[in-house]
Structure 1
Amino acid sequence: MAGPLKSGSVKSSINLLKKKFAIVVAEWNEEITEALYEGAVAGLVANGVKKSNIVRKNVPGTFELSLGALWMGEKKNIDAVICLGCVIQGDTPHFDYICQAVAYGITEANLKTRKPVIFGVLTTLNKQQAMDRAGGKFGNKGEEAALTAIGMLNF
């Protein structure tokens, strides 16, 4: 299906009915990542992607998204990978290490697979900020990640 994306900000010039997407979802902060996943699927389907062409793979936490994304991106039948996770800042520097590592890892997966690997990871100060971005008052960043994947396939 060619035409404008749901957001109206990007136009799709490719047939999305034939594109296959992998969504790699961190199980940590599951309430948030499930909402992100639902948003991503809704964004893809609303823009013409067949639900049967969406493959979900879970990883234990956000840190593991990088390797999961690389493994999915290496598959010949996958056109784009969407990584969904949530890291909420705590009292230790753990937050900083995880955020930096996953950003670097997802970037590397993009470059190694030469496919779109989308960073759909929330890095928030508290759970409320995450909920606000996973279907709350700031929309659903999972849906935004799906639209980014489609946009990159149009590149």
Structure 2
Amino acid sequence: MPNVIQPAPVPTDARFAIIVAEWNKNITGKLLDGAVDTLVEQGVADERIDVAWVPGAWEIPLVAMRLAESGQYAAVLCLGAVIRGETTHDQHINRGVSMAMLDIALEFDLPVLFGVLTCNTLEQAIHRAGGNVGNKGSECAEAALQMVGLLQAME
């Protein structure tokens, strides 16, 4: 039987950063609510959660890098909503943001969670921000907690 590495409990002094894009705020605000609610329900004190609003998804990686550099956070959650329009603009945003976030996670050995919705329609985004497909902000927070615990167990 293989040895399965199980996540350790998240340290009570762990801090979490959440970056939220203001673009499509009617969607991203719900993602933020889901993320904060999940972290608090899992025992993270409200005062250990820092939220930074940025204009849009494109600005998320710069702030994520600054927060990662600070060494203060157990994880950085990145929330946004990029909805396809009439051009390929969304594809460029999504690709750039996702690749930058991956680079930051690897450079700083830190969970940087991709909670950016990449939807074809506003309706799809609504369904993923607390609608019939769940809340991807909450799922992002759950993944952050699991990754923090797993990395803790691997030390």
Same fold (TM > 0.5): yes
Matches within 5 A, 1:27-46: 27-46=22-41
Identical counterparts, % of pairs: 41
Q: What stretches of structure 1 of length at least 5 have no aligned partner?
A: 1-10
Partners of 2:10 and 2:143 in 1: how far apart?
16
| Structure 2 residue corresponding to 1:48, chosen from 43, 49, 74 | 43
Contact 2:7/2:147, CA 8 A, preserved across alignment? no
SS of the residue 1:101 aligns to: helix
After TM superposition, what 4+ stretches of structure 1 lie above 3 angstroms from structure 2?
none
Q: Deviations over 1:3-28 (max 9, x none)?
A: xxxxxxxx752244211000000110
| Structure 2 residue corresponding to 1:88, chosen from 77, 83, 88 | 83
Q: Count the aligned residue pairs.
A: 145
Q: What stretches of structure 2 of length at least 5 have no aligned partner?
A: 1-5, 151-155
Q: Which residue is 1:8 aligned to? A: none
Partners of 1:34 and 1:16 in 2: how far apart?
27
**Alignment pair present for 1:61 and 2:35:** no
Contact 2:111/2:148, CA 8 A, preserved across alignment? yes
SS of the residue 1:17 aligns to: coil
Q: Deviations over 1:71-126 (max 9, x none)?
A: 11111221110000000000101011001001101101101211100000000011
Matches within 5 A, 1:107-126: 107-126=102-121
Contact 1:16/1:48, CA 8 A, preserved across alignment? no
- Higher-Rg member (1/2): 2
What is the aligned-residue RMSD (CA, Å)?
1.1
Q: Higher relative contact order at CA 8 Å, sep ≥6: structure 1 or structure 2?
A: 2
TM-score by length of 1: 0.90
- What is the identity, as a one-letter code, of the residue corresponding to 1:50? A
SS of the residue 1:33 aligns to: helix
Contact 1:16/1:49, CA 8 A, preserved across alignment? no
